[in-house]
Structure formats: C-alpha cells, structure tokens
Structure 1
Amino acid sequence: MKYTKFDAAEFLDSEEAITAYLSAVLEENDPDLLIAALGDIARARGMAKLAEDSGLNRESLYKALRPGAKPRFDTIFRIMKALNINIQAKAMP
C-alpha cells in the first residue's frame, strides 16, 4: 500500500476551515506549530499573493515560515494581516 504525505493546505479551502484550524493550533500554545500553521495557510492561499499583500518577498516568506524558523513578531503580524487573520485574547481557564 502506498501512502501520500498529508498536507493540511489541501484542506484549507474556506475561511471557516482556516479559522477552525488556526484556533485549534493557537490552543496548543506552541510557537513552532503556529509558524507551521501559518505556512499551511499561506500555501493554501498562494505564496505569491501573500508576498504581494504583506510587502515581503517570497524568499523571506519561505524563510520565516519554514520549520525551526524564529521570525520576528512584526513579520508574523504582517503575514497575519495579509491573510486577514485577527488574534483575539481570552483568559486561560
């Protein structure tokens, strides 16, 4: 039996799917997982469009969203803004 590699980006085909995915990731409080999820969302929406909308070049985006990257917060903020993603604060239980 042959298996294919799972790619979350293939399933992020609506705003609802993206919101649910990112909400679940944020609940994990794992910065590396957040970077990976933003990379999945970026691929689902298109890196070229994200580069244009964020004002970052594609190479910088790939570097910022690769596994193990430690991008600056302003880079993450620009990416999230370009993806029309808003973070909301809520008290932890």
Structure 2
Amino acid sequence: MLTSNKAILGELFRDNPAAIASYLTEKMSENDLDAARTGLSLVMQAQNVQMLARDAGLRRDTLYKTFGGRIDPHLSRILKLYDALNVRAGVVPANPSDGLTRPSSMIADASNSFAEQLTKALAGNCFNEAVLALREVAFSQNVSALARASAIQRRTIYKTFGGTVDPQLSRILKLFKAMQLRFVVVPLLPRSRPPRPKLGRPLKASGT
C-alpha cells in the first residue's frame, strides 16, 4: 500500500510545479508546522530524490533528513528545495475570519504591505534577500507586542530575525500567524532542465 501511494504521489507531483505549488499552498495555509512538514516531505519523496538533491545543491541524505517530516527545517534549505522543484514562495494576508489578532501597533492595511515586501524578497528563492525582508518586517513592529502575539520570547525574535541566522520554519509560521500573514507557493516558468526519471536511482550512462 505504501509503495502504491508513493507511486500515485510521484505521478501527481513529479516535474509538475503547478500541482506542487497548489498542494504546498494548501498545506501552508494555516501556519501549522506539522501540516507544512508533511506537505514538504510528500512532495520531496515524490521526486527522484537523488536528482532532486543534485538540483538543490544538497546531499541526498541531507534532503531526507531535512524534509523527512520530523525536524523543523530551516529557511535556506526550503528555498533550495523550492528552486529545485521550480517553484517559489510568496506571502499573502491571512483570512481575517480565522480569528487571529494583530499586535496593536499594526495599521489596518499593514498585512498587504508586508506581504508585498516579503513576496518581492522571496521571488528569486534568494536566502539573503528573504532574511533581510523578514528582519525589516519583524522589527517594524513593537517587538514586545509581537512577542506576546506570536508566543515567541522577545530575545528569540531578535535572535531569529536579526538577519544573521537561518530561521526555522516554525518560528516564521508563528511570526506570520501573529501578523496575519501566510505562505503561498507559486510555480515558476519552465526551465530547460532534463526531466527526472521515475522513483529510484537514475540510470547509469552506458559504458560506466
């Protein structure tokens, strides 16, 4: 049964950025770490992981460890995975009907402005630009109020989003939940990259 399910996922998500983007957007919609990790893990395992690791610039075992669904992945590796999958992250305001409360210092249309700023920084899957944008957005707030709303200690916000460390996904999701933001995933234009073979190890070239 597990093999069958994996094959079905492979057919759905392999080399299909549009399907991947739609699925991950759904999994990221509630800013829930477990749902996000599950989505990233299933999409990763649906690919030929050895070739995906090559495209992401990561070791195969690192890819399995990071996106196996058990640890809290860091932003830099998520962006590398997205680039290899030919998708990118974006940010939009969260649904106001979810009952979340913004920190009192935020103006009414701030979520739209922050979403646009973060989406622009994430457009190229560039880690440095993304980290700087997260820093600007987080520190534009009253950090004490943001700490209360996000359930992250004030000093942890300064450390995590200070622009010098690789933030974990869980803390980004908590920040977004407090600021009524959420991730979306968008497919990129097709690249001239050879399609990955089906699940399993890639075939060796003849004569090797």
Q: Shorter-normalised TM-score: what interval?
A: 0.7 to 0.9
* Kept after mapping to 1: 8 A contact 2:40/2:69: no
Which is worse superposed, 68-77 or 15-24?
A: 15-24
Q: Distance in 2 between matches of 1:54 and 1:40?
A: 16
**Once the 2 structures are TM-superposed, how far is the Cα of residue 25 of structure 1 from its aligned partner?**
0.7
Percent identity over the alignment is 27
* Greater share of strand: 2
1:27 matched residue in structure 2: 29
C-alpha displacement of 1:61: 0.5
Gaps of 5+ in 1: none
RMSD over aligned CA atoms reads 1.9
Structure 1 runs, 4 residues or longer, greater than 4 Å off: 5-8
With normalisation by structure 2, the TM-score equals 0.39
Q: Secondary structure at the match of 2:72?
A: coil
Aligned residues: 90
Counterpart in the other structure of 2:91: 89
Aligned twin of 2:62: 60
Q: Give secondary structure in 2 for the equivalent of 1:28.
A: coil
| 8 Å contact from structure 2 (residues 79, 88) kept in 1 | no
Give the structure with the higher percent helix. Answer: 1
Counterpart in the other structure of 1:50: 52
Contact kept in structure 1, 2:56 and 2:83, CA below 8 Å: yes
Describe the SS at the equivalent of 1:42. helix
Aligned-residue offset at 1:51: 0.5
C-alpha distance in 1, partners of 2:80/2:18?
21
Secondary structure in 1 aligned to 2:92? coil
Counterpart of 1:12 in structure 2 is 13
User: Can you give the 5+ residue segments of structure 2 that lack an aligned partner in the other structure?
Assistant: 96-208
Larger Cα-atom Rg? 2
User: Alpha-carbon deviations, 1:3-23, whole Å to 9, x = none?
Assistant: x34547243353332222112
**In 2, distance between residues paired with 1:80 and 1:16?**
12
Per the TM alignment, residue 69 of structure 1 is displaced from its structure 2 partner at its CA by 0.7
